[in-house]
Structure 1
Amino acid sequence: MDFPKLKSIIEGLLFLSGEEGLSIKQIAEIVDQRAELVTDAIEEMIGEFSRHGRGVQIMKIAGVVQLGTLPEHAAYFEKLAYSPARSSLSQAALETLAIVAYRQPITRVEIEEIRGVKSERAIHTLVNKDLIVEVGRAEAIGRPILYGTTKSFLDYFGLASIKDLPEPGLFEDSENLEEETQLLFNKLDMQQPDAPENDVQSVFDFEDEGSSNEQDFAGHTEDEDPWNSSK
C-alpha cells in the first residue's frame, strides 16, 4: 500500500469512528500495516490539515486518534446547534434520549443494539442540545465513550435527580421502543403543571432523520440498569 492511499484510508476510518476515535493499534490492524508506519502517516496528516487550512483537525486524546473541529470556529457551530430549524428532536433522538436516561452510563454501541439501528447522528444532536454528555470511558476495547444525561435535561423536566424519572418501560430492544418513548415523554409533560400546554411536545416535535433507512443491528445488550428491580 502506498503512503497517500494509507493516509486516505486512515482519514476515512477516523471519520467513521466519530467521537470514539481509534487507537494506533486498531488502525494498524485494520490496514494491516506496522504501527510505526501508521504513526508516521498520522503525524504527516496532522501537519497537512493545518497547512491546508482544513475545517477539521486530527487530535490525540486518551490514547485514541480522532477527527475534531477547530476551536476558533466554535461560534459558528453553536449557531448550527441552536438554530430554530434544529429546535426539535426526531423520533430517533427521542428514543436515544430515553435509553440514555434509563440505562446510563451507556455507550453508542449499546444504544444501537437496543434501538436496532445506527444512532450516531441522534447522539450528536442530543450532545449539541446539552441533553446528554460524555461521562467517562468504558473499560472495554477502544475505551468507548459512556453517555449520561445532563443538568439541563433535569432542569427542563423539573427533576431533582435522575431517580425522579417516571417508572420506566424496559427499553431493552426495538420492539416496543416507540411506544415506551412516547409514554415516557407524555408522563414528563404531565409532571410539569406550571408549563404551557404542549410545552414538551413543542420542543420535542419529531423530525425525520431517515431512521427507517439506517442499518439494522442484531441482538441487544444486558447492561446494569438501576431502575430494573429484577437486578
Structure 2
Amino acid sequence: MDSREIKSIIEALLFTWGDPLEAKDIASILELNKEEVSNIMDEMIDEFDYNMRGVKIIKIKDSYQLGTRPEHFSWIKKLSNPKTVKGLSNAALETLSIIAYRQPIIKSDIEAIRGVRCDKAVETLMDRELIKEIGRLERVGRPILYGTTDDFLRAFGLETLENLPPLNELMDNLDNIEEEE
C-alpha cells in the first residue's frame, strides 16, 4: 500500500469509529508498527490543518479522533435544534480545576482548598464524565481518589494533562484581571 491509500484507510477508520481510536489498534488493522502509524498520523494532522479541512484529527494521549473545527461551530449550530445544555457552575469549575492540577486527590483535600463542601460539584463532574474514581487512598476510611478523564481532555482541547497552562501563569492572569477591575 502506498502512503495515500494508508491515509485514506485511516481517515475511513476514524470516521466510522467515531470515538477515539488508539494508534496500536490502527497499527494492528493496517499491519504496520505503532511508530509508523504515529508518524503517518502526525502527517495527516498537519495536512488537515494546512488544507483547512472542515474536520480535523484530534490527538488525545495515544488515540486519534475526527472532529469538526471549532471555528465552524456557528455554522454547524444552524443544523441542529438548540439543546438546553447547562454549563458548569463556578463551584464545579473550581472543583474541576483543583482535580486537574492536583490529581489524584481526595474530596476532603478539595474541600480544604475550596473552603466549602464539594459533594454536588463532584457529583456533577462525575455525571458529565469529566472526572472519575481512580482508586482509594491507603488510610483510615479508604477515601476515594479522583482524577480527570479523556472526556475532560477532549472538552478542553488538550492532548495530555501536560498541556494544561502552568498554574503560575493562570495566577498572573487572575492578578491582571483583578487589577483592571
- TM-score for both structures, normalised by structure 2: 0.47
Q: Which structure carries more helix by proportion?
A: 2
Q: Which structure carries more strand by proportion?
A: 2
- TM-score for both structures, normalised by structure 1: 0.37
